[in-house]
Amino acid sequence: MLTLVAALLIAGSALAQVADRRPLQFQSAVEETRFHALTNELRCVMCQNQSIADSDAQIAVDLRREILQLIRDGRSDDEIRRFLVDRYGEFVLYRPHVGPATWLLWFGPVLVLLAGGGLVWRIVRQRSQAAPAAAPSDDESGDW
């Protein structure tokens, strides 16, 4: 009896993971365009390197359906983004808002580039100052 219950639980959980793969039906071209724009700018929380539009993960499938429902409920794009950020954090945005928590993300590459440029400038300057001192004089050049 216990084996039968365990088998039913396992089969039930396996069926619960099957994604609803029916294609989404859009009511208008405007709705479809807005949907695609939103899902392309939001990151899949499971895949992390794909947008919700590109991911085949179950959560991305669910989020696509939820985003479509939010659009149909009359929510603005900003309200939908805010809803997803409240639920999953700023990570879900490919372009997070500029703020104290994201300053390094936004300005870090510029700082690294400036530091690298400063280092190259310093090395070139040191070598150019050392070059005249190391150059042989006319007396030492060996011309007779």
Is 44 within 8 Å of 55 (Cβ atoms)?
yes
84-127, pLDDT tens digit by residue? 999 988 888 877 777 777 677 778 888 999 999 999 999 999 98
Residue 25: its pLDDT value, please?
A: 83
Residue 112: its pLDDT value, please?
A: 93
Q: 93: helix, coil or strand?
A: strand
Which class for 44: exposed (0-12), middle (13-18), buried (19 or more C-beta within 10 A)?
buried
Look at residue 1 and tell me whether its pLDDT is greater than 70.
no
11-45, pLDDT tens digit by residue? 555 444 444 567 788 888 999 999 999 999 999 98
Instruction: Mark 96-119 as b/e (b = at least 16 C-beta within 10 Å).
Output: beeeeeeeeeeeeeeeeeeeeeee
Residue 31: CB atoms within 10 Å: 15
